[in-house]
Structure 1
């Protein structure tokens, strides 16, 4: 799975669903509320199952994702300090940065030859 796709799905998805719930409640029509809840279930269940499988793979050390910069596959994971991250042989350590953590940046691999 591409790192960029899953990164933004997890970052922005929660906000989008919260807005949908607020809109459904504000509109107040029971049919609108039912439609929003149905749409959310159809989207959240597959994403949740995908996240669960990816979480098990991450714990086992087998989760690999495609680099957003070069397209090569590399190990991926997550931590409280760095958030979602991955390592690419050519691009280095890739993670989120910025005030809201919405920018994907890379830290070049250090040369160990010195």
Structure 2
């Protein structure tokens, strides 16, 4: 058994933390409740949108990976979702959005 929390619980936690911080969070695509990967579109107030997800960093440890494409952010996540129906896609607009995601899904 894995020590990781189910993806649905992690998504709920990020949405709640975003709301508690006065931000806006929404699920754009629902994935597998237990083990679906989570792709987060994060934006600081007045800042550009970026895509981040859990992955392995340069040291081989779990890290938050920047997956922002050069262009067509919406098309990118839609193509990813078409290939992986278990993928969660969420959008968080709040101060410290990337830190919030890192603390929730990239912690060991």
**Greater share of residues in strand:** 2
TM-score normalised to structure 2 length: 0.28
In terms of Rg, which structure is larger? 1
Higher share of residues assigned helix: 1
| Larger relative contact order, structure 1 or 2 (CA cutoff 8 Å, min sep 6) | 2
